[in-house]
């Protein structure tokens, strides 16, 4: 009985786990410098989505100072953000969803 209860509890917690809202995370951390189509302090995120894959987007967010030369940028003024893996994943998915918009 205890085993059954434990399995049900585990299943219900997984069923109710929610993925982070990429738009909300993006607006919290990125919106001040990146907009959908207009150049702000950083490039528009629809442009980023056209040029980068998910791992590249996440790598740049994790370490902009070490990645800017790899991406052929002249400099990087992007702030070092300390985000969780879930937040990075949500932002990258949100940016990539803007591809072609």
Distance CA 8, CA 45 (A): 41
The two three-digit tokens of residue 59, written as one number: 């790598």
Distance CA 62, CA 59 (A): 5
Distance CA 81, CA 17 (A): 25
How would CATH label the architecture of 21-97?
A: Orthogonal Bundle (1.10)
Residue 13 has pLDDT above 80, yes or no: no
Residue 10 has pLDDT above 90, yes or no: no
Mean pLDDT of 70-99: 90
Task: Work out the percent of the chain whose per-residue pLDDT is above 70.
Answer: 81
C-alpha distance from residue 41 to each of 11, 19, 36 (Å): 44, 29, 12
Q: Compute how many other C-beta atoms are within 10 angstroms of the C-beta atom of residue 51.
A: 11
Residue 8 has pLDDT above 60, yes or no: no
The two three-digit tokens of residue 75, written as one number: 């400099």
Please give the pLDDT value at position 14: 44
Mean pLDDT of 15-25: 75
Nearest alpha carbon to residue 55 among 92, 27, 14: 92
């Amino acid at each position: 009985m205890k085993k059954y209860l434990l399995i049900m509890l585990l299943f219900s917690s997984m069923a109710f786990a929610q993925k982070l809202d990429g738009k909300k995370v993006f607006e919290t951390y990125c919106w001040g410098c990146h907009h959908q189509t207009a150049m702000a302090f950083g490039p528009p995120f629809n442009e980023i989505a056209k040029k980068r894959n998910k791992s590249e987007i996440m790598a740049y967010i994790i370490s902009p100072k070490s990645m800017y030369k790899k991406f052929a940028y002249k400099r990087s003024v992007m702030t070092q953000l300390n985000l969780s893996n879930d937040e990075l994943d949500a932002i990258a998915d949100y940016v990539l969803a803007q591809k072609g918009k």
